[in-house]
Amino acid sequence: MKPLRIKMTDTLIRVYDMLDKMEQISVDNAYIDQVDLTNFHSDDYVDCLKSITVDQKDRYADQMRAYSFTDCDCPVFDYMHKYC
């Protein structure tokens, strides 16, 4: 997500007074490695997240189109899978 999208999300959370209803959690790398994104997303999508990099995004043009990875809204960046 671009910083503008994060700011918009934060603003909406605050405006709708949802901050008090949320719990902030901290996770370590061991937890991140155990999370199975395929519980929520298709195997193809997760494979794309694991494989795509800024340098290789031309190889993934079809997947980028299918999953709406665009420079405007959801830009490709290295380590997307770990970030997710």
Give me the tens of pLDDT residue by residue for the chain, a chain 84 residues long: 567 778 899 999 999 999 999 888 777 777 766 778 888 888 888 888 888 889 988 898 898 889 888 877 788 888 887 777
Q: Which of 67, 6, 10, 9 is nearest to 37 (CA)?
A: 67
pTM over 0.85: no
Report yes or no on 38 lying in a domain.
yes
Residues spanned by the domain of 34: 25-83
pLDDT of residue 55: 92
pLDDT of residue 81: 79
pLDDT of residue 11: 95
Residue 26 token pair: 């901290």
Q: What is the DSSP letter of 60?
A: G
Report yes or no on 46 lying in a domain.
yes
Q: Which of 30, 67, 35, 73 is nearest to 49 (CA)?
A: 67
Report yes or no on 54 lying in a domain.
yes
Overall domain count for the chain: 1
| SS3 assignment, position 62 | helix
pLDDT of residue 73: 74
pLDDT of residue 13: 94
CB 84 within 8 A of CB 52: no
Report yes or no on 5 lying in a domain.
no
Distance CA(79)–CA(5), nearest Å, equals 19
Residue 45: other Cβ atoms inside 10 A: 16
